[in-house]
Amino acid sequence: MAYIHRMRLTRNFRIWEFRCHDKSVTQVPEPLFPNVRRLARNLQVLHYAAAAIYGRDVKISIRSGYRTPEHNDKTPGAADKSYHQEALAADFNLFLKVDAKTWEELPPTEVRSLILELIREGTMEEGGIGIYDWGLHYDCRGTRARWDGRPRRKGPKRGK
């Protein structure tokens, strides 16, 4: 099975990047491959757009992609019906290359603005966008959802 997890989903994403971070490091189950591919295609649009706008190499680092229902239950702040369980959601950070050894993070507020613009122009799918102090959540659920999960701010808190 190992070879399949090196499978390239798009130019810059491989399937293992979306594995569950539970103890057994559960890989994305095969029935969810179409979902994770769809998610990766949307993130690839973001990758290309950021590279074009900033004129630098881009790295999107997936903190959390697929989650087993068991792992989702144990994730603090996770929504009960999290799209992570369907491999349609990713929590991530976007970095721009400074030099051979250095990457700097594009602030989540800027990444969010870029995603909103790409959704408006129809190149990224509508979905859920949550901003946190650690980065962004994006899912391609198809319907609009927005939330702010940063601490010490007013507004509804939603799962990550």
Kindly tell me which of 26 and 97 has the beta carbon lying closer to Zn ion.
Answer: 26
In whole angstroms, the minimum distance from the beta carbon of 123 to Zn ion comes to 21
Pairing relationship of beta strands 8-10 and 102-105 according to DSSP bridges: unpaired
Q: Does 91 bind Zn ion (CB under 5 A)?
A: yes
Question: Which listed residue (17, 60, 137, 140) binds Zn ion by CB under 5 A?
Answer: 137
In whole angstroms, the minimum distance from the beta carbon of 96 to Zn ion comes to 22
- For residues 90 and 62, the answer to whether their CB atoms sit within 8 Å is yes
> Measured at the alpha carbon of residue 40, what is the angle toward residues 38 and 46, in degrees to the nearest 5?
115
Q: Does 67 bind Zn ion (CB under 5 A)?
A: no
Q: Is 27 helix (H, G, I), strand (E, B) or coil?
A: coil
Task: Report residue 152 CA to chain centroid gap.
Answer: 23
Kindly tell me which of 9 and 82 has the beta carbon lying closer to Zn ion.
Answer: 82
Residue 124 DSSP one-character state: S
Kindly tell me which of 27 and 75 has the beta carbon lying closer to Zn ion.
Answer: 75
Residues of the shown chain interacting with Zn ion in the complex, contacts defined by CB under 5 A: 89, 91, 137, 160
